[in-house]
Structure 1
Amino acid sequence: MNAITPISRGLAPFEGRLTGITNDVRAAAVGELERLGLPTQKVEAWHYTNLRALSGHAFATPGMVDEGKVTAALAALFGDTEALAKLPRLVLVNGRLSAAHSTTRLPEGVSCTSFATTQDFGTQSAPDREAMVALNTALAEDGVCLSVGAGVKAGAFLLISVAGAGNEDASFHPRHAVALGEGASLTLFELAVSVEDAGPAMYLHNPVLSCDVAEDAHLTHVKVQEEAENAVHLATVYADVEPRGSYDSFTLGLGAVLARHEVHAALRGSHASVHVNGAQILGARQVGDITSVILHGAPDGISRQTVRNVLMDHARAVFQGKVLVERIAQKTDGYQMNQALLLSPNAEIDAKPELEIYADDVKCSHGATVGALDEDQLFYLRARGIPDDQARRMLVEAFLTETVELVQDEAVRAFLMQRVERALKARVSAGEKAA
C-alpha cells in the first residue's frame, strides 16, 4: 500500500509523524484524518470544545522520563491510601508500558499483554467517525490489553499513566482494551498524572479504551484525570455490554488546560445497565468536557448519568449527554442530570442533554441546573463561628459528595474524596476572592 501524505486540515501538529505510514489499519486511519480533519467547532459534537490549543505546536514522539521522577510521582500518588497502594498496577510512562513499575504477577484467570505486542485495534472504535480515535489508531505505540476469564472475580486493578513533556512538545496515544468473560467482575481504577516537574513544553495525552462486558459480567471503571497545567487530555472510551452485564463508570476531572472524556456505551443485551457519572473541579482558564452517547439496543436496559461541576475563575465546563433508544429497546429506563456550581461570574457551563427515542414504552428523563452558593447557608455556617473560606469549602464538598458516593468501592471512594478535598482547599478560596 502506498504511503499517505497528510493534508493540512488541522493536522500540522502531527504531520511529520503521519507521513509515510504504510500499515493498512494505520494508513486507513490517516485517510480518515485527511477526510475529517481534526474536529472544529463546526462539528456538532465539538461545538463547545475548541482544539485551538493544539495549533502552533509540532508534537513529537515523547522522550524518556527520569526514573527518579516517575518513582516519586507514584510514591506521592496515594498518600495515606494504603489499600490502593497494595493493588496490582499497570503503569505507563509517556504512553509506554513500564515493566519496572508494573505488577508482574496477576491473579489466576487474569491475563495482560501490551498493545505493542498484539497490535490489536479491536472492533469497537470508530476512526471513520471520531477524528481523535483515528489519530490514536494512526499513532498508537503501546497500551494495556487486560482479559478476565469467565466467572473470575478479579478484584481491583490500577492503570496509571505518568507523563512528563520535558522541553519538546510531545503526544502519546495509548490503546487499551479490557475484556470480561461471562460472569466475571473487575474494578479498573485509572489514574492520569504528571511528574512534579513535567517540563515547560505542552503534551497531548490521547488514550482510547475499549471495554467488552459479557453476559452477567460487571466492570467498574473509575478514572481520575490530574495532569499538568500544560497538558491536553482527550480520552475516548467504548463499552459494549451484553445481557445482564453492567458498565459502571465515574470520572473525576481536575487537571489539564483542556480535557475531554468521551464515552460511547452500548447496551447490547436485555437487562444490561450503564452508569456514566462524573465530577469536575476547574479553575483558571481550564476547559473540561464530559460527553457521552449511550445506545439502548435491547429491551429492559437501565442507564444513569449524574455529572456535577464546580467552576472558578474563567473556567468552562461542557456536558453533552445523548441517550439513543432503538425501537427494539422497550421498557428502557434512562436518566441524565448535569449540575453546575459557579463560584465566579466569569465561569461558564455549556449543557446539552439529548434524548432520541424510537420505542414507545420507555421511562427517560434529563435535566440540568446551574447556580451559585446559597447565601443563607453561608450565613448559617458563619454565624456558628466557621470561617468564610472553610464554610465555602464545606458547601462545595457537600455538593460533590453525593456524586462521589455513587462509587461503590470504599477504598477508591476514599481516594476520590481526598482528591476532591485537596483540590477544593487549593482552589475554592482563591476562586471566590477573584470573583
Structure 2
Amino acid sequence: MNDHDELGTRLTRTLTEHSDVMSGSSLGLADVKGRARSIRRRRTATAVVGVAAAVAVIVPTASLAAHTSGKPEPAPAITQTPSPTTTASPDSGHQPAPGVLDVSDLPTGDAPRMDYVANGVFHTADGDSFGVGTRYRPDQFVELDDGSRVWHTTANGKAYVEIQDSDGNFHDPVASGWGLTVNASHNVVAWLDPSGQVMLWEGRATEPRPLGDPIQGSDLRLGPVFGEGIGANGGSGPGCTVTGCTVYVNVTDNQGHRQVWEVSDAATQQLRDGGYLVLNDESEAGLSIGLTEIKDFESCSKLLGGGEFQGFETCKNQLQSFSPDGKLILALPTNYDGLGPTAMAMYRLDGTRLFERQATVHAQAAYPGATWEDDTHVLAPFFQDGTWSIVRVGSDSNMEYAVPPVSGDDVDNPFILPTGGALSAGS
C-alpha cells in the first residue's frame, strides 16, 4: 500500500449524500429525441472538426510530465491548444515538491475572481460582503445571468432549494434531492425533487417547472444541463420549451446497477451513447466525459470523440470537468473516500496529462470539490492540518492561496464556491 492509499484509509468519512456538489455525476452524448437531438447533432458534428484540428497540432513535451454547456449552435473551431499557464505567487510561501499535494505553506495570490461564501457571509468578486439571507444553511449556490441565484440548503437532514430573485427577495424553500446543476450560459438550473422529478428554473421565470417524467432509483445524482433558457444572453428568447433543454441524471438502482438517463420535454429515457456508467460533464463543443468502469479500488474514464477526433480513455484518473473554453480537463484520483479527493490532475484533449499532485501521509490534503475560475485555473477549498483554505491551482501545477487558511474541523467546510463557476469564467 502506498502513501496515497494509507491517507485514504485515515481520512474520516464526512461527505453526506449532497457531497455530489463536486462531482455527483458524469454525462455523455446521446441520441436525444425531438428537437434536443437535432440541436445536439448539429452542434457536435461541427465542433468535432475544430477539436480534431486542434489535437493535430499538439506536440507533447517532456516538461509537461512535471507540471496539469452551452449554446446549441456550432462552437468556433479550436485553433490552438492551451499551454500550461503560470500561477502568480506574489507573497511569501513556497511550492511543494513536484507531484505532491501539500497546501500547508503556499504563497498568497489574488482573492477569488468569482463570488463565494465563507462562514455564511457572501463575498463578491468586487470585494463587497453581506449576509447570505437564506432560511436554512446553504451548501451550494448557482448564479444566473439575470442576477438571480438558486441556493441548495439543508435543515434537520433534509434538503431544500431556495430561489433568490435578482432584486434579492427569496421564494419559500421547496423540498429537494441533493444537488444543483447549471448550463454553461447560466440561464437554466435543475434539481431533483424528493420523488425523482427533475425541476427546471430558467432565469427570468416566475416559478420552477417539472421536466420530463420522474426517475426511480436508490441513488440519483445530477449531471450536466444542455440547452438555453428564457432570455438567453439578455434577450427575450422562448426558452427550453422551444429550444429543447436536456438534463442528465446518473442513477443507481436497488441492485447497484448504474445508468445515465436523459430528461427533456420530448422524452425521459436511458442514455445509450458512449457506454457511460456516470456522465460528468459536457463541453460547449459537444464533447463529453464520464466513467465507463467502476470497481472497488479503480475507475476508468472516457472522453467521447467523433469523426476524425477519437477522444481517449484512461484508468489513471477520473475525468471530471471541462475548462470554460473546453480545452482542458480537470481530473480526480480513480478512487477516493473520506473528505474527498486527495489528488488532482489536468489533461489536454489529446490525453496528455499536464500534471498530477497527490497527498501523502505527511501532507494530508483533501478537498470536497473544485471549480474552474478561468480557462487555466481551478479553485478548491482544501482541508489540511486543522485548517481550511481556498487554493488556486494552475495548469502548470503551481498553487497559491486565494483565501488564506483558517482554523476549522474537517467535517465543517466554511467555504462555498459557485456551482458552474463564475458567470464569465471563460473570459
Q: TM-score band (shorter)? A: under 0.3
Structure with a larger share of its residues in helix: 1
TM value normalised by structure 2: 0.26
Structure number with larger C-alpha Rg: 1
- In the superposition, the TM-score normalised over structure 1's length comes to 0.25
